[in-house]
Amino acid sequence: MRVGVYVCHCGINIAKTVDVERVVKEISKMPNVVICRDYHYMCSDPGQELIKKDINRYGLNSIVIAACSPRMHFKTFQEALKSAKLNPYMLEMANIREQCSWVHDDVEEATKKAIALVKSAVAKAAQLEPLVENDSPVVPAALVIGGGIAGIQSALDIANAGFKVYLVEREPSIGGHMAQFDKTFPTLDCAACILTPKMVDVSRHRKIELLAYSEVDDVTGFIGNFHVKVRRKPRYVDEERCVACGDCATECRLFNRIDSEFDEGLGKRAAIYVPFPQAVPLKYTIDPERCLFLTRGKCGDSPKCVDVCDANAIEFDQEGRTVEFDVGTIVVATGYDSFDATKKPELMYDKLPNVINGLQYERFFAPNGPTGGELVMPDGTVPKKVVFVSCVGSRDKKVGNPYCSRICCMYSTKQAHLTKERVPDADVTVFYCDVRAFGKGYEEFYERVQEEGVKYRRGLVSEIYRDDDGKVHVRAEDTLLGEPIDLEADLVVLATGIVPKATTRSLAQKLHISHSPDGFLLEAHPKLRPVDTVTDGIFLAGCAQGPKDIPDTVAQAGAAAAHAIDILAKGKITIEPYNAVVNPDLCGGCRICEMLCPFDAHHYNEAKGVMEINDTLCKGCGVCGAGCPAGAITLNLFRNKQIICQIGAILDE
Amino acid sequence: MTEYAFFPGCIGKNVYPGIEKATRLVFGTLDVDLKDYPYSCCPPPGVVACYDKESWYTIGARNLALSEAEDLDIMTICAGCYGTLHNVWHELTHNRKLLEKVNENLDTIGMHYSGKSRPIHFVDILDGMRKEISEKKEIDLGFDVAVHYGCHYLKPSSVTGENPESPSVLDDIVGLVGCRSIEFKDRLTCCGAGGGVMSGEPDLSLRMIETKLKNIQERNVDAIINICSFCHMQFDQSQKKLKRFEIPILHLNQLLGLAFGHKQKHLGLHMNLVSNRDLVKKVKMARRVSA
């Protein structure tokens, strides 16, 4: 083997702590090493040029780069090898920056360690074998999970690029939380006015197949070729025949007697319902938990919905069904839940009727809400003293949410403005710990609302209580004045934060993607790969990945769509040969590896009685190789012989 | 028979020995054996820990080590003692270096603490003996009471594991002996004694307890029930200083002692500055009804 070794200075990043020249001197003495050089920046064009020239000049057939982590520049150097007509897998990197110069101070010790690391890499380089990349076809369709603004945006973007999209939504209608909002901050656009056109676009788009009131049951396969099973829940209403006249709901025996989820329990609905008038698809759904006929088998003499439906759309014997399809890529946009304020008992959320959360307050303003957009309490009074409490369930280690929810400061500010708009003489106070007005136009909006007479007082609320006259009081410390405050309030709004949706965890398991300690889905890299997941072909959009406002959600949804389109447009994916391979002569078919594999890459060939590994699914983690009792599994890039040589070289030091 | 090492604390032993006596009677009735050891002061965090934390940990650890030698957990009847011992236990079981340092100090007197013996507040023991309390009850007392949770029993919640915003265990236990816990304004605020306030800021301390007593007085209760000797002292002595209150004050063990039929003299009810005469009359009436 003819090995070329290149030691990088990385400016002073490496050269300051590692005596590069001594490394070169030592390595030059090694067997197989034809040439060893150092250079200031190996990743620069001249650095790469150097390697290419040497490959031709000295007939090198294996290359070692001693520089940074292979995560940074492995691909860069592979390209250099390719252009010199060398197999790109005849490359080994020794990480003498992150794992050496950056973590040590002592030049002597660091140099010794660098020499050992490079020797070990050279030992492996002498054992490398050329590997071949394979292509795999891509199914030209995408699955988008979640029909909130994130899912809607991703679905539209992908469909507009000409690819088929399956949009799956758990609820009877798409629209998500944004459909519940009245106005959006800071521009005070009507949320429904900007959202509903997109919802209509989704329903009319010939490339989008909307699967509402459905849940993803199972996903198997891999990038380019996922197989999806979706459970369509029974609406008990024939979607084809229902014309959404609404007669069934007004006639329902439980009309106006069931808390409306869309109105956050403030409004009422019937057992057969559409969540809101602009729902898409605008088809009625029977609530199987509440419908008298479905729960008791009897609803008066006959169910009234059946009696009044001229279209004969009610089908009590409807059953759920499973639809299956293949897609090349998946966007996860499952959204969030609002923090459950009962976890803060001192705020009396479930004890006092005039303590509500931010999402509930939003419904007071919405024209399609329980009060028709009027700010009127259930007892008919107009609240004159309104108090907002910030950071409920955010930045609060006690409830396990150390993160900032990013929207509450601004939605409280918006709601404070809307309060002033409805009731100009209202006394509005916002208790805050920091006002985070970080977005475009947010600070200006915050200032404007203060000028409108909304009082901002710095201090977190310690307690909410009711006095003997039944008046609600909010108690806090004004930390700027350094004095305790006791404010009487007609209405207290808890600015509840964003928490991961309860169902996100089980979905993450189905998709083999991970979540961070806060429970939100984990991106592949916090800075540079914010919409990718560690599973190729699956992307994240919206609050499923972390709290964000509407502009950020739409931006991320667009980015996720662009990544999905990237895969779909190429039509094929290149599979890097990092995978494990089974030697069928040694494999006894014990299937231990099948249980160990975190990526479901192993499958048992019953006819041959041996295991087979799917190259596309396999990530080359090596668990199966370590677990195989017969030693039948080897990793393409980490063969036993290579590793033993590597260890040997280090132990020689 | 269940056994605990019994940590009476300075106030429960020296200022209000009735509380210590009541504790022994109540736990005797409940078939719990209390063992005695030559304990020192806990010592209180306000006075000692502020000046010399290492000594605080060491003296606290010495107390814990005494009962550890016989494999017993240590029961306290004062939220202050509990706060100290529980904090010391928590810190030493989470900080190996500190534990080593403390054991170096203990070694000079031939002692060692491993973290095995842990402090328990007596209310937590009673919480697990609700059935026994109901069985041993002889008198349905029928009092309206204001209950006072000591701060150090509840906080910090990361150490105590309690819910400091809406606790209910004390309300439940007084209910077992026929008492009604009456809601009053700001019932979870500090009595004003702990944290060095009573000795360092006596006027502030008095103002705090005055507000508290005023809120309780508005509710017209028969007695204030506490679970802490130090709070007990504050409630009792301040009423004399302020001269405008006369609300009987009982440690929970004194209340249970009455319900179990023990004599009021044996429970030390006469040792309070605030008269318990009306309360004792009520107990006699309740005894007749129960009989």
Can you name the CATH fold of A580-636? Alpha-Beta Plaits (3.30.70)
B158 contact residues in A (CB cutoff 8 A): 398
Residue A356 clears pLDDT 70, i.e. is over it: yes
Nearest to A346 among B158, B165, B185 (CB): B165
Can you name the CATH fold of A337-499? FAD/NAD(P)-binding domain (3.50.50)
pLDDT tens per residue, range A123-147: 999 999 999 988 989 999 999 999 9
Instruction: Calculate the CA dihedral of residues A375, A492, A361, A544 and round it to 10 degrees.
Output: 170
Instruction: Taking residues A31-40, report their average pLDDT.
Output: 95
Q: What are the backbone angles phi and psi of residue A269, rounded to the nearest 5°?
A: -135, 180
pLDDT tens per residue, range A522-556: 999 999 999 999 889 999 999 999 999 999 999 99
What H or E segment, with its residue span, contains residue A152?
helix A149-160
Interface of B with A in 102-161 (CB under 8 A): 157-158
Q: How far apart are CA A464 and CA A478, in angstroms?
A: 15
With an 8 Å Cβ cutoff, are A346 and B163 in contact?
Answer: no
B163 contact residues in A (CB cutoff 8 A): 345
Q: How far apart are CA B160 and CA B20, in angstroms?
A: 24
Q: How far apart are CA B167 and CA B121, in angstroms?
A: 15
Which residues, other chains included, contact A468 with Cβ-Cβ below 8 Å and sequence gap of 6+? none
Residue A345 Cα, gap to closest chain B Cα (Å): 6
Instruction: State how beta strands A491-496 and A483-489 pair.
Output: unpaired
Q: Are residues B74 and B26 in the same domain?
A: yes
Q: How far apart are CA A592 and CA A84, in angstroms?
A: 42
In CATH terms, A3-131 corresponds, of 1.20.120, 3.40.50, 3.40.1710, 3.40.1010, to 3.40.50
Q: B184 lies in a domain?
A: yes
At which residue do the structure tokens 């990043």 appear? A13
Q: Are residues B117 and B141 in the same domain?
A: no
Residue B161 clears pLDDT 80, i.e. is over it: no
Instruction: State how beta strands A580-582 and A633-635 pair.
Output: antiparallel
- Give the structural domain span for B54: 2-122
Q: How far apart are CA A368 and CA A179, in angstroms?
A: 10
Tell me whether the omega of the peptide bond preceding residue A577 falls within 30 degrees of 0, making it cis: no
- Per-residue pLDDT band for B38 (boundaries 50, 70, 90) equals very high
Instruction: Taking residues A576-604, report their average pLDDT.
Output: 91
Q: Are residues B261 and B146 in the same domain?
A: yes
Q: Are residues B240 and B209 in the same domain?
A: yes
Q: Is B148 helix (H, G, I), strand (E, B) or coil?
A: strand
Q: Are residues B283 and B141 in the same domain?
A: yes
Q: Residue B279 is part of a domain; what is its CATH number? A: 3.40.50.11810
- Per-residue pLDDT band for B192 (boundaries 50, 70, 90) equals very high
With an 8 Å Cβ cutoff, are A467 and B185 in contact?
Answer: yes
Reading the block at residue B163, the tokens are 């819910």
| Contact assessment for residue B64 and residue B88, using Cβ atoms and an 8 Å cutoff | yes
What H or E segment, with its residue span, contains residue A158?
helix A149-160
Say how many CA atoms lie within 13 Å of A493 toward its Cβ: 27
B219 contact residues in A (CB cutoff 8 A): none
**Of A636, A595, A635, A587, whose CA–CA distance to A612 is shortest?**
A587
A344 contact residues in B (CB cutoff 8 A): 165
Q: Is A180 helix (H, G, I), strand (E, B) or coil?
A: helix
| Contact assessment for residue A2 and residue A59, using Cβ atoms and an 8 Å cutoff | yes
Q: How far apart are CA A350 and CA B115, in angstroms?
A: 40
Q: What totals of helices (H) and strands (E) does chain B contain, helices first?
A: 15, 8
- Cα dihedral sign, A242-A247-A251-A257: positive
Q: B245 lies in a domain?
A: yes
Q: Cα angle at A147 between A145 and A149, to 5 degrees? A: 120
With an 8 Å Cβ cutoff, are B166 and A346 in contact?
Answer: yes
Q: Are residues B145 and B108 in the same domain?
A: no
| Contact assessment for residue A458 and residue A432, using Cβ atoms and an 8 Å cutoff | yes
The structural domain count of chain B equals: 2
pLDDT tens per residue, range B253-268: 999 999 999 999 999 9
Whether B40 and chain A come into contact, CB under 8 Å, resolves to no
Q: Are residues B112 and B59 in the same domain?
A: yes
Ranges of CATH 3.40.50 domains, chain A: 3-131
B66, B96, B122 - which closes a domain: B122
Residue A465 Cα, gap to closest chain B Cα (Å): 9
What H or E segment, with its residue span, contains residue A10?
none
Q: How far apart are CA B253 and CA B133, in angstroms?
A: 11
A461 contact residues in B (CB cutoff 8 A): none
Instruction: Taking residues A316-328, report their average pLDDT.
Output: 96
Q: Are residues B170 and B284 in the same domain?
A: yes
Q: B129 lies in a domain?
A: no
Beta bridge partners of A604: A611
With an 8 Å Cβ cutoff, are B165 and A465 in contact?
Answer: no
pLDDT tens per residue, range B15-26: 999 999 999 999
| Contact assessment for residue B35 and residue B64, using Cβ atoms and an 8 Å cutoff | no
B122, B151, B179 - which closes a domain: B122
Q: How far apart are CA A609 and CA A606, in angstroms?
A: 5
List, as one string, the DSSP characters of A365-395: H-TTSTTTT----TTSPPPSEEEEEEEETSS
Q: Indicate the residue type of B15.
A: V
Q: Are residues B178 and B111 in the same domain?
A: no
Q: Which of A204-218, A321-335, B32-46 is predicted with the least confidence, judged by mean pLDDT?
A: B32-46
**Of B181, B180, B190, whose CA–CA distance to B210 is shortest?**
B190
| Contact assessment for residue A289 and residue A234, using Cβ atoms and an 8 Å cutoff | no
- Per-residue pLDDT band for B57 (boundaries 50, 70, 90) equals very high
| Contact assessment for residue A535 and residue A523, using Cβ atoms and an 8 Å cutoff | no
Instruction: Report the side by side order of strands in the sheet with A141-145.
Output: A208-211, A164-168, A141-145, A329-332, A538-540
**Of B39, B53, B40, whose CA–CA distance to B98 is shortest?**
B53
Q: Residue B103 is part of a domain; what is its CATH number? A: 1.20.1050.140
Q: What are the backbone angles phi and psi of residue A152, rounded to the nearest 5°?
A: -60, -45
Instruction: Taking residues A95-116, report their average pLDDT.
Output: 96
Ranges of CATH 3.50.50.60 domains, chain A: 141-233+322-333+503-570, 337-499
- Per-residue pLDDT band for A582 (boundaries 50, 70, 90) equals very high
Instruction: Taking residues A363-371, report their average pLDDT.
Output: 94
Cβ-in-10-Å burial (0-12, 13-18, 19+) of B132 comes to middle
A346 contact residues in B (CB cutoff 8 A): 165-166
Residue B112 Cα, gap to closest chain A Cα (Å): 34
Beta bridge partners of A215: A231
**Residues on chain A bordering chain B, Cβ-to-Cβ distance under 8 angstroms:** 344-346, 398, 465, 467
Measured between alpha carbons, how far is residue A359 from residues A365, A412, A483, A487, A583 in Å? 10, 10, 31, 23, 59
Q: How far apart are CA B4 and CA B119, in angstroms?
A: 10
Q: What are the backbone angles phi and psi of residue B54, rounded to the nearest 5°?
A: -65, -40
| Contact assessment for residue A310 and residue A520, using Cβ atoms and an 8 Å cutoff | no
Residue B163 Cα, gap to closest chain A Cα (Å): 9
Name the closest residue on chain A to residue B166, using Cα atoms. A345
At which residue do the structure tokens 């369709």 appear? A141
B185 contact residues in A (CB cutoff 8 A): 465, 467
With an 8 Å Cβ cutoff, are A465 and B185 in contact?
Answer: yes
**What pLDDT score was predicted for residue A599?**
83
pLDDT tens per residue, range A273-303: 999 999 999 999 999 999 999 999 999 899 9
Name the closest residue on chain B to residue A466, using Cα atoms. B185
Q: The whole model's pTM is what?
A: 0.81
Residue B46 clears pLDDT 80, i.e. is over it: no
Instruction: Taking residues B153-181, report their average pLDDT.
Output: 90
Q: B91 lies in a domain?
A: yes
**What pLDDT score was predicted for residue A652?**
81
| Contact assessment for residue B121 and residue B82, using Cβ atoms and an 8 Å cutoff | yes
Give the 3-state secondary structure percentages of chain A, helix then strand then coil, rounded to 5. Answer: 30, 25, 45
Residue A412 Cα, gap to closest chain B Cα (Å): 25
Reading the block at residue A107, the tokens are 């030049």
Burial letters for A135-161: b for 16+ Cβ neighbours within 10 Å, e otherwise?
eeebbbbbbbbbbbbbbbbbbbbbbeb
Whether B168 and chain A come into contact, CB under 8 Å, resolves to no
Instruction: State how beta strands B144-148 and A141-145 pair.
Output: unpaired
Q: How far apart are CA B237 and CA A155, in angstroms?
A: 72
Residue A634 clears pLDDT 70, i.e. is over it: yes
Give the CATH architecture of domain A141-233+322-333+503-570: 3-Layer(bba) Sandwich (3.50)
Instruction: State how beta strands A461-466 and A472-478 pair.
Output: antiparallel
Q: Which of A74-83, A381-390, A469-478, A593-602 is predicted with the least confidence, judged by mean pLDDT?
A: A593-602
A-interface mutation test, from B165, B166, B182, B204, most A Cβ less than 10 A away: B165
With an 8 Å Cβ cutoff, are B163 and A345 in contact?
Answer: yes
**What pLDDT score was predicted for residue A653?**
64
Reading the block at residue A56, the tokens are 């031709």
Q: How far apart are CA B191 and CA A223, in angstroms?
A: 64
- Per-residue pLDDT band for B48 (boundaries 50, 70, 90) equals confident
Whether B207 and chain A come into contact, CB under 8 Å, resolves to no
Q: How far apart are CA B177 and CA B253, in angstroms?
A: 12
Instruction: Give A565-614 as a 3 state SS string.
Output: HHHHHHCEEEECCCCEEECCCCCCCCCHHHHHCCCCCEEEECCCCEEEEC
Q: Indicate the residue type of A105.
A: D
| Contact assessment for residue A600 and residue A606, using Cβ atoms and an 8 Å cutoff | no
Q: What does pLDDT average to over chain A?
A: 95
Region for residue B71 given its phi and psi (left: phi exceeds 0; alpha: psi -120 to 50; beta: otherwise): left
Q: Are residues B175 and B268 in the same domain?
A: yes
Q: Cα angle at B269 between B264 and B272, to 5 degrees? A: 170
Q: How far apart are CA A143 and CA A170, in angstroms?
A: 14
With an 8 Å Cβ cutoff, are A345 and B157 in contact?
Answer: no
Residue A397 Cα, gap to closest chain B Cα (Å): 10
Q: What totals of helices (H) and strands (E) does chain A contain, helices first?
A: 17, 34
Residue B165 Cα, gap to closest chain A Cα (Å): 6
How many other CB atoms are found less than 10 A from the CB of residue A460? 16
Q: How far apart are CA B214 and CA A14, in angstroms?
A: 71
pLDDT tens per residue, range A223-279: 999 999 999 999 999 999 999 999 999 999 999 999 999 999 999 999 999 999 999
Whether B163 and chain A come into contact, CB under 8 Å, resolves to yes
Nearest to A345 among B158, B166, B185 (CB): B166
Q: Are residues B67 and B40 in the same domain?
A: yes
With an 8 Å Cβ cutoff, are B165 and A344 in contact?
Answer: yes
Helices within chain B (DSSP H only):
10, 17-29, 53-68, 79-94, 96-107, 122-127, 130-136, 151-154, 157-160, 169-176, 197-200, 202-217, 229-242, 252-259, 277-290
Q: Indicate the residue type of A622.
A: G
Q: Are residues B6 and B97 in the same domain?
A: yes
Residue A29 clears pLDDT 80, i.e. is over it: yes
Q: How far apart are CA A309 and CA A293, in angstroms?
A: 16
**What pLDDT score was predicted for residue B69?**
84
Whether B183 and chain A come into contact, CB under 8 Å, resolves to no
Residue A399 clears pLDDT 80, i.e. is over it: yes
